[in-house]
Amino acid sequence: MVRLLLFFVSFSFFSTFLLCSVCMITFFFSFLFFSFLFFSFFISLYKRRLPNRPEGSVTPFFYTCKENKKHARQDIK
């Protein structure tokens, strides 16, 4: 009887530990995946080029300095 109780207690601890470790591993890999998506989205925004921007629009933050100077000269004219 005591052995059976000990077996069930140890099995419950082991199953809980296994479940928690699987959940933590899944959370870790999902966090890595979504952070990769997040940063790749912002990197693609940074590298994006908009040569034909409409008149009077604000220059986006992902323009390079060279493009900012070119558009600034167009805005002055």
| Torsional sign, CA 12, 14, 16, 18 | negative
pTM (global) more than 0.85: no
- Tell me the mean pLDDT in the region 55-59: 55
77 closest CA partner among 56, 52, 46, 50: 56
At residue 53 the predicted structure's pLDDT band, cuts being 50, 70 and 90, is low
What's the total number of domains in the chain?
A: 1
pLDDT digits (tens, 9 = 90+) for 17-51: 888 898 899 999 999 999 998 888 887 777 665 55
Domain that holds residue 35: 2-76
Please give the C-alpha separations between residue 41 and each of 27, 28, 46, 52, 76, in angstroms, as whole numbers. Answer: 21, 20, 9, 22, 32
Q: How high does pLDDT run on average in the chain? A: 73
